[in-house]
Amino acid sequence: MESSDKPSSSFMEFFSAYWDIFVGIFFGILAFLAHKNGLPLVSTILAAISIGALSVTISEIAEILAERLGEPYGSFVLTFSAVAVEILLLFMILSSGEHADPETLETVKSGIISAVIVDMNVLLGLAVFVGGLAFKEQEHNEDTSSTYTTILFVSALALLVPSVLQFSNEAEKKLTEASIIISIMLAIYYIFIYIFQTKTHSHFFKSTARSRIMRMKRKINEEEEEENYIFDKFSNFINFIVIFALILMVGFIAEIFASDGMPVFKELGISTGLAGLIIAIISVTPEIFTAVKAAKNDQIQRVINIAMGASTVSILLTVPILMALSYMNGIHFTLDFNSLQIGALIFTVILAWKTTDNGETNYIEGISHLMLFICFAVIAALY
């Protein structure tokens, strides 16, 4: 009897460890077949599931690399892997529109802002809420949040510039020029931030003494358990190659999602704001799982680094890269975000500043971020 149970138990353990890879590949194949057979709604749903599942795998491998590299480099790997998926999704949608129609452009702009809103309110809010319930209060390096909220506030104001110029004389010309200038400025700004994070002020992004002690205790407990996850056994170089290959796979499936998804959104009457929010949630979901897991292990510093780091990269790299890719492919893309998007971004930054400025978090601060997200989602759906 025991011998017959062992194969079943082994299979369940194997599937539990690698379900995301199987689901991602299987649903990706189904999405491709549905796309070829003219079933856009089915292919869109299947492609979204596939992208989400493969993104979980990317996130898990990135987390292994993050643990090995330490902060702040570890959080860089986590944020860059997620933002790569975001850029792929948004660019595929941008290039899927017929001559870059207004609805497609608005969906992409909504996706850019929504990624930050989801990172800062859903990811941060949910992780802080879960961590607050488990530990009452959690301590992080207040220099981290202070630096990031300053960067995000300035970046939000920079994105406001093209939006203001669209009401001036020769608006179209000035809007295009301002969008290019702001994109270049954001990219340069990020170079300085990268140096600041990794060279001159890396201590701003490392955990406090209390958080380090908790992490050491967790690591000792983990070392007592046997680890059989295959990516734990790979070298950093091999894991980076695997991540790159998975991102390429996501790019292929994202093309299916974009080509079938946009017509489906229009047919179902889904607003551009809600469509952008759906895209953001698909790309950010793996990060949310990683952040909640970190919060439950009292690694709130990792949560702050992921949420605010990903938001920073979403603006300072996603915007310039999308602008460059657009003009390389003859797509006229400008940064005239609407008042809801800029307003929600600024309010999010202000709330993040208020909830993290003292270096401690609790569950009520997590609920506050989730409440702000719900308000944004309602407006995005009905705007």
- pLDDT number for residue 34: 93
Whole-number Å distance between alpha carbons of 41 and 355:
40
Candidates 379, 323, 369; CA nearest to 116 is 369
Q: What is the pLDDT of residue 121?
A: 93
| HSE-CB of 120 using CA atoms within 13 angstroms | 33
pLDDT by residue for the chain (383 residues), tens only, comes to 445 555 556 666 666 667 788 888 999 999 999 999 989 899 999 998 998 888 888 878 877 887 777 656 666 676 677 678 788 888 888 887 555 677 888 888 888 999 899 999 999 999 999 988 888 788 888 888 888 889 999 998 898 888 787 766 667 788 888 889 999 999 999 888 888 877 777 666 666 544 444 444 444 444 444 456 788 888 888 888 888 888 888 888 888 888 888 888 888 888 888 888 888 888 887 778 878 888 888 888 888 888 888 888 888 888 999 999 888 888 888 888 888 888 889 999 999 998 888 888 888 999 999 999 999 999 888 87
User: Distance (Å, rounded) from C-alpha 362 to C-alpha 355?
Assistant: 9
Q: Which two tokens stand for residue 263?
A: 């017509």
- Residue 138 pairs in a beta bridge with 361
- Annotate 8-23 with DSSP letters as a single string: HHHHHHHHHHHHHHHH
Asked if the peptide bond before residue 286 counts as cis, ω within 30 degrees of 0, the response is no
pLDDT digit string, tens, across residues 143-158: 888 888 899 999 988 9
pLDDT given at position 74: 65
289-292 long-range contacts (CB < 8 A, ≥24 apart) are 289/56, 289/59, 290/59, 290/63, 290/78, 291/123, 291/124, 291/126, 291/127, 292/126, 292/127, 292/130
- Is 258:89 a contact under the CB 8 Å cutoff? yes
Contacts 24+ apart (CB under 8 A), 15-22: 17/228, 17/229, 19/53, 20/53, 20/54, 20/56, 20/57, 20/60, 21/53, 21/54, 21/57
pLDDT confidence of residue 6: 54
Count the alpha carbons within 13 Å of 269 in the hemisphere toward its beta carbon.
2
How many other CB atoms are there within 10 angstroms of residue 316's CB atom?
A: 24
Q: What is d(CA 232, CA 249) in angstroms, rounded to the nearest whole number?
A: 21
Other Cβ atoms closer than 10 A to 218: 14
